[in-house]
Amino acid sequence: MSERKVGIIMNGVTGRMGTNQHLLRSICEIMKQGGILCSDGLRIMPDPILIGRNRAKLEELSKLSGIENVSTDLDSALSDKRYAIYFDAQTTDRRAPAVKKALAAGKHVYCEKPIAVSSKEALELYQLAVKADLKNGVVQDKLWLPGILKLSRLIRSGYFGKILSVRGEFGYWVFEGDLIKAQRPSWNYRQEDGGGIISDMFAHWQYVIENLFGKINALSCIGATHIAKRWDENGKEYKCTADDAAYACFELEDDVIAQFNSSWAVRVRRDDLFVMQVDGEKGSAVAGLRKCWIQPQSATPKAVWNPDIDNPIDFYKGWTEVPDTQSYDNAFKVQWELFLKHVVLDEPFRWNFLEGAKGVQISEKAIESWNARRWIEIPSLLKGK
């Protein structure tokens, strides 16, 4: 049995998502399990260096993760041939320039979404990576969540028959930060810093919709800034300039209609922070992050509209939970392992920068629809396709 160390420059992992999902629950867990065991007996072992702008935060993260190699000098790391992969989890406005430097340095690149602030810039990153013959990938973690995997299996089995519609509800109440500390960073609510729920979440909706249900042909969206002011990490009041909620409708191929509500200003009364209902001719399903419930046509109750009495039907009881038929690993970790195999073994990995650019495009078109107050068609990013 042999081991192949793969150097990874991890930039921006001092943030919440970078620390928890990418470093501690993905790379560190892969290292703890002894690397990634491949079919030929090879073990792929990550060898990360943590890059950031704040030395004190990096030192804290080093103690937390056990990874001693840290630096504030990105250029030095990029020039080091020990590192084959560059990973970026910075704020969106810093991502594209750093990715371009990494590609110029000959690094394979894996990064958080959105990969750029515009689809034009995102497409340029894809074209640069292709020209340099470098492997590239974008995080699309929700595809490996247990609830979504169960839903995907139902679709592939033909359970729904013809799918009619999809409805997604995402969000929770993010505290303003004055009386109770906010659960999200303040830059999320400043447009000038790359914030906004449309740019943050619509890239997710794009890959969830198109991987499960088909191509998005058109969309209509309205956004809102429901909370006008918040308090930042230092307790300072600031004006919110970015959208904190968005309400969208998507026209998909095969006449499927999808509706997605996204909000950081909503209180939860549903099964999970994200719930997606799919209705088909033969049955329906409701998927959360980890669980999934079904109601086939044969078990659908006959509802009768009568607002003058309490409804005799308990609508929750008419659903059956889809059982776990496998063990489910952390979704971010699963995709990390796939990308590392892609780099080392040249195994297929279809979640590349072009797929990331499609997510950025959907965010752009949603904002365009909001501003124009009309439906917007979604053209192909590549000419002739």
- Tokens standing for residue 190: 């400043």
Query: How far are the Cα atoms of 30, 235, 262, 273 from residue 176, in angstroms, in the given order?
Result: 36, 10, 17, 18
3-state secondary structure of 194: coil
Task: Point out the residues of the chain with pLDDT beneath 70.
Answer: 384-385
3-state secondary structure of 146: helix
Residue 385: the pLDDT is 55
List the beta bridge partners of residue 165.
257, 279
The answer to whether residues 17 and 184 touch, using CB atoms and an 8 Å cutoff, is: no
- DSSP secondary structure, 306-370, as one string: -TTS--S--TTTT-EEPPP-S----HHHHHHHHHHHHHHH-------HHHHHHHHHHHHHHHHHH
Residue 39: the pLDDT is 86
Report d(CA 99, CA 101) in Å as an integer: 5
Report d(CA 255, CA 239) in Å as an integer: 41
Domains of the chain as residue ranges with CATH: 3-140+331-349 (3.40.50.720), 142-329+363-370 (3.30.360.10)
In tens, the pLDDT along 57-95 reads: 999 999 999 999 999 999 999 999 999 999 999 988 899
List the beta bridge partners of residue 70.
50
| Exposure string over 321-345, b if 16+ CB within 10 A, otherwise e | ebeeeeeeebbbbbbbbbbbbbbbe
3-state secondary structure of 304: coil
In tens, the pLDDT along 99-116 reads: 999 999 999 999 999 999
3-state secondary structure of 3: strand
Report d(CA 331, CA 354) in Å as an integer: 21
Residue 194: the pLDDT is 85
pTM of the full structure = 0.93
